[in-house]
């Protein structure tokens, strides 16, 4: 079946702009996770959803970052007033439920100029 998909694959924006990154999980997966990966580092947790609600958003770096999953499927990560330090690959993963294997999408490479 189809894996996790993420759009766009690449996004270039200017400092101060607003961006939205989209994640489409594997069909039927109830848990959805966002991670951020900087160059040469492992992925770092941002937020995860169980259904429509954010179960843990402790990894969001500040209030410029926000994520939603209104219908319990597709999720959007929103970044306001982007900064150059936000440049990274944003990874989305989904799993059938909690404490299950997470399957990752291809990521969105964000570059803030």
Partner 1 sequence: AQKVTQAQTEISVVEKEDVTLDCVYETRDTTYYLFWYKQPPSGELVFLIRRNSFDEQNEISGRYSWNFQKSTSSFNFTITASQVVDSAVYFCALSGTQGGSEKLVFGKGTKLTVNP
Question: Binding residues for partner 1, per CB under 8 A?
Answer: 31, 33, 35, 40-45, 48, 55-56, 58-59, 89, 91, 93, 98-99, 101-107
Do 93 and 32 form a contact (C-beta atoms < 8 A)? Answer: yes
Comparing CB distances to partner 1, the nearer of 17 and 55 is 55
Taking the complex as a whole, the smallest distance from the CB of residue 22 to partner 1 amounts, in Å, to 17
Comparing CB distances to partner 1, the nearer of 10 and 80 is 10
Taking the complex as a whole, the smallest distance from the CB of residue 106 to partner 1 amounts, in Å, to 5
């Amino acid at each position: 079946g189809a894996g996790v998909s993420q759009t766009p694959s690449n996004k270039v924006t200017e400092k101060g702009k607003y961006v939205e990154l989209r994640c489409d999980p594997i069909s039927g997966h109830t848990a959805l996770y966002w991670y951020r990966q900087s160059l040469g580092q492992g992925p770092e947790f941002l937020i995860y959803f169980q259904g429509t609600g954010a179960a843990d958003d402790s990894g969001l770096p500040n209030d410029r970052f926000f994520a939603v999953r209104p219908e319990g499927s597709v999720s959007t990560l929103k970044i306001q007033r982007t900064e150059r330090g936000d440049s990274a690959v944003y990874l989305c993963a989904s799993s059938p439920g909690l404490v299950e294997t997470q399957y990752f999408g291809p990521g969105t490479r964000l570059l803030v100029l």
